[in-house]
Copies of this chain bind each other. A is one copy, B any other.
Amino acid sequence: MKFAEMTVAQFLDALASPDPTPGGGTAAAVAGAMGTSLLVMVTGLAKSNTNTDDEKAALAGAKLALQPLVATLTALADADAASFDEVMAAYRRPKATDEEKAARSAAIQQALQGATTVPLQTLRVCASAMPHAGTVAACGNRSAVSDVGVAIGLLEAAAAGAEANVRTNLGSVKDPQFTSAAADETGRLMTNVSREAAAARARL
């Protein structure tokens, strides 16, 4: 069952269960989806009388950009759990012969790269949502100012959570090219997230 189809109570129970999935990567993606959804809400709350046509167009543009990211993040919540399940399945492969050992190692490495790529994608999506928070803060209704603040905080927590999952899994990836490319991109994205979050807060 997809997480989006679970009730909120079932999803929380699944997080709380001692099964390793769903874990932090899934929770980060859902938190990002919640933050993005709050921003979409505020794109629908223009300052009405005082909004210029440019401001209305900016809000409409932010809404168009943000809406599909909610579905992307909920899909990443599922992908994160699936990718971690694959890592565990790879570790459970037989290792009696040298051939089996080699195949198991290759499977583990492939699965770990997958389990790195998914939270990296979550981080990319949160980073692409954050610049719109500034637009929403500047052009949205002043009564929703705390909603935008909560959205920024949730997207930051989601990005940091995704980063933690990227770095944990990268620690076991042996391909140096993959590792350095992913680490570099993660660093750049986190810098962007912090900068855009600060810029958005300055417009609240």
Contacts and interface: CB of A to CB of B under 8 A. Distances in A.
A15 B41 contact: yes
Q: How many copies does the complex hold?
A: 2
A68 to B, nearest CB: 12
Given A23-B38, A27-B38, A18 B5 contact: no
Interface string A18-53: 111001110110110111011011001100000000
A127 interface: no
A161 to B, nearest CB: 4
Interface stretch (A105-113, A131-139, A142-150): A142-150
Q: Of residues A23, A40, A148, which shows the largest number of chain B Cβ atoms within 10 Å of its Cβ? A: A23
Interface in A32-82: 33-35, 37-38, 40-41, 44-45, 67, 70, 74
* Chain A interface residue bracket vs B: 35 or more
Contacts of A147: 23-24, 27
A103 interface: no
A102 interface: no
Interface stretch (A92-100, A151-159, A176-184, A185-193): A151-159
Contacts of A151: 24, 27
Contacts of A74: 8-9, 12
Interface of A: 3-9, 11-13, 15-20, 23-25, 27-28, 30-31, 33-35, 37-38, 40-41, 44-45, 67, 70, 74, 143-151, 153-154, 156-157, 160-161, 164-165, 167-168
| Closest A-B pairs by Cβ, 5 of them | A18-B44, A24-B150, A150-B161, A15-B37, A24-B147
17 contacts: A5-B8, A7-B8, A8-B74, A15-B37, A16-B37, A16-B41, A20-B144, A23-B147, A24-B147, A24-B150, A30-B34, A31-B34, A31-B154, A146-B165, A153-B161, A154-B157, A154-B161
